[in-house]
Chains A and B, each alone.
Chain A
Amino acid sequence: GDSVTQMEGPVTLSEEAFLTINCTYTATGYPSLFWYVQYPGEGLQLLLKATKADDKGSNKGFEATYRKETTSFHLEKGSVQVSDSAVYFCALNYGGSQGNLIFGKGTKLSVKP
């Protein structure tokens, strides 16, 4: 079945460091891909998305490119801030009658000042 694999955390970085969180997927079709972020004690917030191959999603300095050839959707940010500390989830779905999101296990990011 379809699945999402994320790099295991936790990831600890210093402020202004470069961030990469790896995400790869296994899919039988052509899903949309998402990154969601969860701050402590809160629900999930959509960070960015891409709906087809070679699309780049971006938001708040984060970006990810839908790579069909490597089945990947890695999250990157050039300079992280303490406020970026959270758990990041990679997910896929197909929409329609198969609209449920399939999530990775999540990667916890801690940014130190």
Chain B
Amino acid sequence: KAGVTQTPRYLIKTRGQQVTLSCSPISGHRSVSWYQQTPGQGLQFLFEYFSETQRNKGNFPGRFSGRQFSNSRSEMNVSTLELGDSALYLCASSPGAQETQYFGPGTRLLVL
């Protein structure tokens, strides 16, 4: 089975712009979670989608949003980018509730 894929792998944006990141889960997995990884804050949970519904949300401002499509693919959007949004954004998928999460390679976002 193919693993979790994320596109793009690298992205450079400037402050004030918006960005959309994409995640394709492992075939058959219905849950997709997003995490932000920074040197200062470590790994922090953004949100989780299950069957196109947001099931859980971390403590991030409303500039961070996401959605999940009927084929379980997910996108996350960050509007009005700030320098502090520079991070590795990781997507993880799992078959469903109470299941192990499998991570993609991440999208590295640099905000200038």
Contact = CB atoms under 8 A, between A and B. Distances in A.
Interface string B71-112: 000000000000000000010101001111111111000000
A94 B101 CA distance: 12
A106 B103 CA distance: 16
B15 interface: no
Range of interface residues on B (Cβ < 8 Å): 20 to 34
Interface string A75-113: 000000000000001010111111111111110000000
A44 B90 contact: yes
Given A43-B105, A105-B42, A99 B94 contact: yes
Contacts of B56: 97-100
A34 B92 CA distance: 14
Nearest to B35: A101
A36 interface: yes
13 contacts: A43-B4, A43-B104, A43-B106, A44-B90, A44-B92, A45-B103, A95-B99, A96-B98, A99-B48, A100-B33, A100-B58, A101-B33, A101-B35
